[in-house]
Chain A
Amino acid sequence: MILVVMDHDGNELRKGALEGVSRARKLAEALGGEVAGLVVGPGAEGVAEKAKDYVSKVYVVSGPDWEAYTAEKWAKAAHAAAEAAGARVVVAPASRTGRSWTARLAVKMDAALLEDTLDSWAEGDKVYATKYSFLNRVLEKQAGTLPAVISVKPNTTPLAEPAGAGTVEPLAVELGELEKKVEVLEKIAETGGKVALTEAEVVVTGGRGMGSAEAFQMIEQFADLLGGAVGATRAVIDAGWRPYAEQVGQTGKTVQPNVYFALAVSGAVQHQAGMNKSKVVVAVNKDPDAPIFKETDYGVVGDVHQVLPAMIEEVKKLKGA
């Protein structure tokens, strides 16, 4: 049996959940058994009714103890579901939170952890995966022993199609001493972005050359027009123009969109670590020698304050057509 932990927003499954189902199905074909799912947290009962179209059985962990996420609790729920399902492999999204609780789960299960994987498969009594390393500059192939915990890098895997109705099974999980040691005092909402940066098909990033926080209104407008998310470089975050949540790079988020716009971004290695796997990279920079142009498919040498407004007009024309 393979267990897939299915991320959701309280109403709908996230894309990462359906990528996870695809991975779990492939592993189940090789290792035998079926795919079970787990949904945890607020809204889990409702989401389970959607999740059951993708897996043979959905475990639901919810209730007053499960309102706020903590890594300790999610690892505990996943462990309980893995035991209930008799799962030898657990698949989960490699979101920031996912990568935190899967590390705990791997220790609980004494399992091999294959983290942030691009692809995964099983052969004999081992699981295999590919992932990036060395700040996204190296592609490596790993082998892990069973049991295993595999986290799935966003936007790497086709979304699963529904496969008929499974069953829903509530799972009672008691919190232990450890799970009571973290208390969430306050949530700080992410400002700006309507689209999750790590799941966006289009990312529009502004660098220090934007010149001011106000200039990012143009970036926002362009991103909105394309249904994309806004990104920023470390320099922009340090200047206080944008929130940390929007940072792309080594210490920020890693994105792999269809198209990445680097506007007035010079392109330091630390920034490239967060975006160099984008399918198409577009750059606008007034410095023809900016390192970003080496990482660029389509670029314009010019002043972003003149080029970007024109780009916005051109896209409007295109959308209107």
Chain B
Amino acid sequence: MKYVAIIRQVPDGESKIKVDGGRVNLEGATLILDQMDEYAVEQIIRLKEAHGGEAVVVAFGPERTEEAMRTALAMGADRGVLITAEGYVDPVTQAGALAKVLTEEAPDVVFTGGQQADWDSQALGAAVAEALGWPSVTWTTAFELEDGHAKATHDLDEGAEVVRVALPAIFTTQQGLNEPRYPTLPGIMKAKKKEIKKIDAAELGVSGSKVEILEQQIMELERKQKIIDGTKEPAAAAAELIKLLHEEAKVL
């Protein structure tokens, strides 16, 4: 069988975000394999370890995405395919190009992150599945293969459900799916020699984006930071807090 993880490179959540001229500037930011995609990479490696076959990483993004792809290869994926395009391309447009690569690769199971840490989007997995005419399951917390199908547990708005899905299918990740491994030193050495095939997005018919980002700004709300010391008299502090919430903030 063949398993694919669709990955992206995003800024580390802990690193500061800068905006220059109304656009986010990632210069100097630490860029990493999206943590939600780490679950996807881990899952395809586990599937390969359990059932045999090939674990392939696929991405759509700028040239630098290769770094994140090397991380996935160091974790244990076999090879990568990178569709290159500079600048913002919306997930629905990306889905069309990714679907073409997946048609060629013909995997049985595809995993990708439940939400991307830069776009704050949840669309990619479902959009690629739709472009392929495949089913998809979002926010997957448990997964197993059984006789040509997959059985998965996934989160809904409230509660969760267990589904049985015909393959090929796409699954998006949720925390709890697995515990991603760290790349080992031998893994990192091997990853340097693993194949990454690059395809220009234009060759797959991508010209522009349906959605354009016009302006970005840092959005941090000013907080009042009225902090009461309640270490000695907790009851008095609680009374003062509730009074402030009632009379000043008017939220109670």
B238 touches which of A99, A116, A311 (Cβ 8 Å): A311
Task: Give the dominant DSSP class at A's interface.
Answer: mixed
B121-156 at interface with A (beta carbon < 8 Å): 121-127, 129-131, 133-139, 141, 151, 153, 155-156
A302 near B225: Cβ-Cβ < 8 Å: no
User: Which residues in B have their C-beta under 8 angstroms from that of A115?
Assistant: 121-123
What CA separation (Å) do A55 and B183 show in the bound complex? 55
A96 near B156: Cβ-Cβ < 8 Å: yes
- Answer whether residue B185 sits at the interface, using C-beta atoms and an 8 A cutoff: no
A 290-313 to B, binary, CB cutoff 8 A, 1 in contact else 0 = 000111111111110011101101
B13 near A270: Cβ-Cβ < 8 Å: yes
A297 touches which of B96, B136, B160, B224 (Cβ 8 Å): B224
A228-282 at interface with B (beta carbon < 8 Å): 234, 237, 244-245, 247, 250-252, 258-259, 269-270, 273, 276-277, 279-282
B120 near A112: Cβ-Cβ < 8 Å: no
A143 to nearest B CB, angstroms? Answer: 5
User: Which residues in A have their C-beta under 8 angstroms from that of B244?
Assistant: 298
- Answer whether residue B30 sits at the interface, using C-beta atoms and an 8 A cutoff: no
- Answer whether residue B27 sits at the interface, using C-beta atoms and an 8 A cutoff: no
B230 to nearest A CB, angstroms? Answer: 3
- Answer whether residue A125 sits at the interface, using C-beta atoms and an 8 A cutoff: no
- Answer whether residue B19 sits at the interface, using C-beta atoms and an 8 A cutoff: yes
User: Which residues in A have their C-beta under 8 angstroms from that of B126?
Assistant: 71, 100-101, 103-104
Number of A interface residues at 8 Å Cβ cutoff, please give it: 97
- Answer whether residue A121 sits at the interface, using C-beta atoms and an 8 A cutoff: no
A106-158 at interface with B (beta carbon < 8 Å): 106-108, 111-116, 128, 131-145
B130 to nearest A CB, angstroms? Answer: 4
- Answer whether residue A214 sits at the interface, using C-beta atoms and an 8 A cutoff: no
User: Which residues in B have their C-beta under 8 angstroms from that of A116?
Assistant: 120-122
- Answer whether residue A102 sits at the interface, using C-beta atoms and an 8 A cutoff: yes
B47-77 at interface with A (beta carbon < 8 Å): none
What CA separation (Å) do A281 and B227 show in the bound complex? 12
- Answer whether residue A188 sits at the interface, using C-beta atoms and an 8 A cutoff: yes
**Interface size, B (range):** 35 or more
- Answer whether residue B216 sits at the interface, using C-beta atoms and an 8 A cutoff: yes
A244 touches which of B162, B174, B213 (Cβ 8 Å): B174
Q: Known: A138-B19, A188-B162, A315-B242. Contact between A300 and B219, CB under 8 A?
A: no
B227 near A252: Cβ-Cβ < 8 Å: no
B92 near A106: Cβ-Cβ < 8 Å: yes
B99 to nearest A CB, angstroms? Answer: 9
B249 near A259: Cβ-Cβ < 8 Å: yes
- Answer whether residue B85 sits at the interface, using C-beta atoms and an 8 A cutoff: no
Q: Known: A114-B211, A250-B117. Contact between A138 and B159, CB under 8 A?
A: no
Q: Known: A100-B138, A318-B252. Contact between A178 and B133, CB under 8 A?
A: yes
User: Which residues in A have their C-beta under 8 angstroms from that of B115?
Assistant: 250-251
What CA separation (Å) do A240 and B35 show in the bound complex? 21
What CA separation (Å) do A108 and B96 show in the bound complex? 11
B114 touches which of A103, A251, A276 (Cβ 8 Å): A251
A158 to nearest B CB, angstroms? Answer: 19
Residues of A near any B CB (own CB < 8 A):
69-72, 75, 95-97, 99-104, 106-108, 111-116, 128, 131-145, 178, 181-190, 193, 196, 198, 202, 226, 234, 237, 244-245, 247, 250-252, 258-259, 269-270, 273, 276-277, 279-282, 284, 286, 288, 293-303, 306-308, 310-311, 313-315, 318
Can you report 5 residue pairs joining A to B where beta carbons are below 8 Å apart? A133-B119, A134-B24, A250-B115, A300-B238, A302-B237
